[in-house]
Structure 1
Amino acid sequence: MRDPYDVLGISKTADEAEIKRAYRKLAKKLHPDANASDPKAQDRFAELNTAHEILSDKEKRGQYDRGEIDAEGKPRAPEFTGFGGGGPRRGPGGFSGFDGDTIFESFSFGPEGARRTSRGGGGGFEDIGDIFGFGRQRRSAGGGFAPQPGADMEITLPVSFEEATQGASKRVGLPNGKQIDIKIGPGTREGHRMRLKGQGEPSPMGGPAGDAYVTISYATHPLFERDGDDLRQAIDVPLADAVLGAKVRVPTLTGAVELAIPAWTSGGRTFRLRGKGLPNAAGGHGDLLARVNVVLPAEKSAELEELMRKLKGEAA
């Protein structure tokens, strides 16, 4: 992955306001919905979100600037000249770490990052490729190097606006036929990417499986139109309520709310419901913009028609 500063197009001295402005500008330009015909749009948008997650967090930005984490936010392993006291961690039976036979049952992720719940044994192999710089080869407890792991795979997981806002559990089918459960944390944003270790393609040489990467994508909503982190919708208001004023029920991602429509509200007037939109980068939510659509009575009314003729005549 590219340098996060290059991804956002900013200098290393940029302040928080510059980072925020650069992200918002690029998010509108690179969003998959605005580049539906580009097969690489999702990857670029995911890269943008990863870069923003690192640079908008003071602690992560400091770790990156010091070389403690890489451009994907993963820890960089320290350099070793030999196994001595600074070598790989050892357990009672040899090198400890990831067991290629561990069964991963469920995964969860949200704004705070990814977590996993597993069942199975420890021991076996430890991934030392990052330390010695030769890829993802593994050193076994018996000495020597195990075969290269299988290929990684990329998966896009569509979620509804409600699921991203309130959290949900989703079952995902992998290309290898395995079904896994993923818990979506409340406030998960589009473009969030997580790693499922060992859930990729099997190794053709008998080594460990590759990894699967899951990227969150927002599904199209039947009621709401997305505008960045804000949502827009049209609400029907009867003519009498628009003239006299009333309270109308407005659906939101967390349940319907009442909106007070003042008397003499014209069609097209927009009301802002703060915090009722999609999760945003600041840890809050965007707004819901409700646009009034004045509707006539279902049945024709002679009295109403006569009143309209009178008003039209007075206006003339």
Structure 2
Amino acid sequence: MTKDPYAALGLTKTATAENIKKAYRKIARANHPDLHPGDLAAEARFKEAGSAYDLLKDPEQRRRFDAGEIDAKGAEQAPRGYYRDEARRPENPYTQSGPRPGGDPFGEGFNADEFFANFARNRSADQSGFGRGTPNDWPGQDTKYRLAVSFLDAALGAKTRITLPDGNALEVTIPEGARDGQTLRLRGKGAPGRGAGRPGDAYITIDVAPSPDFEREGDDIAVVLPISIDEAILGGKVPVNTINGAVNVTIPVGASSGQVLRLKGRGVKGRSGKGDQRVTLRVVLPAKIDDELKRFIEGWRANHAYNPRSGKETP
């Protein structure tokens, strides 16, 4: 990932949380692997934006990055001047002979390998509690992955696999109702520990591909249903797609474009049950208006003309 997560999203440090969210969604939608199969450049932009968003969406992580406490990957940064201050300490155990009076503490006698190894070991022990009794027992590192899933797999739940860099595969269960950007935690599926140290955890961030048919709004599903002019005037039953398959919906007599029908319980599973599906009607005229339709409408208008822009109810 680029050293600057703001640049990865096309933003600056003054960006608001909403700016960050919108920029990520725009890049993710434009470069999602499902929409650009085989396009390595698009995949790279998608992953880079995802990593940047993971870091900046959390206010505390963003604060720490801006303050220089962590890097763009979320790894801890040593405080400014830490290494030099450590080497100057009289009791510093990482030099073979200790700093020489008036000399350079990083000069002759300074054992850099031992110093950095001990620094990493001490930080690991301080943060995890391991290493205090047995220095060789270290916990494994947590690992992070991104997983692209289809809209329906996220809505309905699914099982899939991630191929790891070492060629092994990790089984992942996508829960029903999973959201874009949601992170799953797989305990003990990260890097192995050393000695008796426990393995790390694997964190899987889900990237949901946009659907050409459905739009998710909370736990509701929103769709647009085109209907013909005769269906709008006369009403009737027409099929509409839901995430669980097609169902028939009743079009009321005299339906208008923009009218919304609600299908109870046809949405996505949430904490309080399933949402609904909202069907917005859109009246579509014939591709070609023939003479018969023209004559009919002209005759009808002569005695039944009305102005839908008047704000009054039609007769």
Shorter-chain TM range is 0.5 to 0.7
- Deviations along 1:9-68, one digit per CA (max 9) or x if unpaired, are xxxxxxxxxxxxxxxxxxx959945753675544576899xxxxxxxxxxxxxxxxxxxx
Structure 1 counterpart of 2:63: none
Task: Tell me which of 284, 299, 308 is aligned to 1:295.
Answer: 284
Alignment of 1:138-287 (within 5 A): 144-201=134-191, 210-280=200-270, 282-287=271-276
**Distance change >3 Å, CA 250–CA 189, structure 1 → 2:** same
- Find the counterpart in structure 1 of residue 311 from structure 2: none
Q: Which letter maps to 1:297?
A: P
RMSD, aligned α-carbons: 3.7
Q: 1:224–1:35: structure 2 CA closer, same or farther, 3 Å change rule?
A: same
User: CA 1:294/1:209 → structure 2, altered by over 3 Å: closer, same or farther?
Assistant: same
Which residue identity does 2:300 align to in structure 1?
L
Q: Which moved more, 1:260-269 or 1:288-297?
A: 288-297
Percent of residue pairs bearing the same amino acid type: 35
Q: Are 2:136 and 2:195, in contact at CA under 8 Å, matched by a contact in 1?
A: no
How much does 1:169 deviate? 0.9
Judge conservation of contact 1:46–1:193 (CA < 8 Å) in 2: no
Q: 2:128–2:139: 8 Å Cα contact kept in structure 1?
A: no
Contact 1:247 1:261 in 2 (8 A): yes
In 2, the alpha carbon distance for the partners of 1:44 and 1:150 equals 25
**Shift in CA distance, 219/47, structure 1 to aligned 2, threshold 3 Å:** farther
Per the alignment, residue 308 of structure 1 pairs with: 297
Distance 1:199 1:238 in 2: 54
Letter in 2 for 1:271: L
CA contact (8 A) 1:138 1:146 kept: yes
Equivalent pair of 1:246/1:260 in contact (CA under 8 Å): yes
Residue by residue, what CA displacement relative to the aligned partner does 1:172-201 show, whole Å, maximum 9, x if unpaired?
122333212222233444554333344334
Paired positions, count: 203
Query: Structure 1's 148 and 243: CA in aligned 2 closer, same or farther, altered over 3 A?
Result: same
1:259-281 Cα shifts (integer Å, max 9, x gaps)? 1001111112111222222232x
Quote the Cα distance in structure 2 between the aligned partners of 1:232 and 1:199. 37
Q: Structure 1 residue 133: deviation in Å?
A: 5.9
Counterparts of 1:162 and 1:254, CA distance in 2: 9
* Compared CA separation, residues 188 and 31, structure 1 to 2 (3 A): farther
Of residues 227-236 and 297-306 in structure 1, the stretch that sits farther from structure 2 once superposed is 297-306
For residue 177 of structure 1, what is the amino acid of its counterpart? G
Residue matched to 2:100:
none
How far apart are 1:242 and its partner, in Å? 0.8
- SS at the partner of 2:296? helix
* Deviation at residue 144 of structure 1 after TM alignment: 2.9
Letter of the 1:296 counterpart: L
Decide which structure has the larger Cα Rg and report it. 2
Higher relative contact order (CA 8 A, sep 6+): 1
Query: What's the offset of the Cα at 1:170?
Result: 1.1
Ranges in structure 2 where 5+ consecutive residues have no aligned partner: 1-16, 28-48, 61-124, 307-315
Q: How has the CA–CA distance of structure 1 residues 136 and 255 changed in structure 2, closer, same or farther, with 3 Å as cutoff?
A: farther
Give the AA of the match of 1:222. P
CA contact (8 A) 1:244 1:263 kept: yes
Taking the aligned partners of 1:285 and 1:228, their CA distance within structure 2 comes to 11
Structure 1 residues 248 and 31: CA distance shift in structure 2, 3 A: farther
- Structure 1 residues 214 and 185, CA, compared in 2 at 3 Å: closer, same or farther? same
1:301 maps to amino acid:
D
SS at match of 1:256: strand
Please tell me the residue identity of whatever aligns with 1:135: S
- Residue 195 of structure 1 aligns with an amino acid whose one-letter code is R
| 8 Å CA contact 1:253, 1:277 repeated in 2 | yes
Distance 1:165 1:46 in 2: 25
Q: CA deviation at 1:285?
A: 2.2
Residues 155 and 287 (structure 1 numbering): CA distance in 2 closer, same or farther, change over 3 Å? same
Q: Which has the higher helix share?
A: 2
Q: Distance in 2 between matches of 1:155 and 1:46?
A: 17
SS in 2 for 1:222: coil
